[in-house]
Structure 1
């Protein structure tokens, strides 16, 4: 499964968000975008990561970044997750996993010592021209957002 590297063009996508609206990457051209891919809404690790992005949204937006979360969950589950955790950025549904696959965030991974196929927790940062600036794969939910902010030079 190919993983994206800095300098690669970001694959375009149009996905449905938690409110039933469409979000397209090409509509965000001219802005920097952080896209995080997570396995499932309302699971402990994914909740931790989503809440870390929520809690860091103001400094990230002040530095010019938009945040999008993508999982295979259906929009009603994403809406429930967003409401439950007071998430303030779009959560996008990728039920056929096409976007996850295009970004290298779906495939074989290790889970409790076994090889399984699923969503690989990943984050990409896309610059204003639609080019991958940062690509991180197999990341840990805890501490990831702080590490990413540091790498991007975003103050707390």
Structure 2
């Protein structure tokens, strides 16, 4: 009797690593292909020493739905290199409002201008600016980067 074929839905860590090592990634397709089964490895990669893999793993998590992905993104918003925190702020756009708000609360408190910029963009894309009005107002008055201050001021004007 012939052996049963391997299920195509089984998670292959080597296939995920090969996917992440590509120059240009189709994140939505990758999320669909690897799904929640990939989350433990993706979480490990985000915390790892390979910056390129960390960043790509964080972006991919943003496209995967589920509680596990939500928790990984919340953690990524707090730690790691700035591009990983940016990926978390961007990934907030694909979360339900309660999770997005938790991620963006952290991202808007970041000191890195790019993280704050992406957090404000995500808040705006989700029409959640008003939830962060006091934070955005504070950024518009005190942030060290003038471009970010201007972006925050424009967001404040949009809310009025």
TM-score under structure 2 normalisation?
Answer: 0.25
Of Structure 1 and Structure 2, the greater helix share is in 2
Bigger Rg, structure 1 or 2? 2
TM-score under structure 1 normalisation?
Answer: 0.25
Structure number with higher relative contact order (C-alpha < 8 Å, ≥ 6 residues apart)? 1
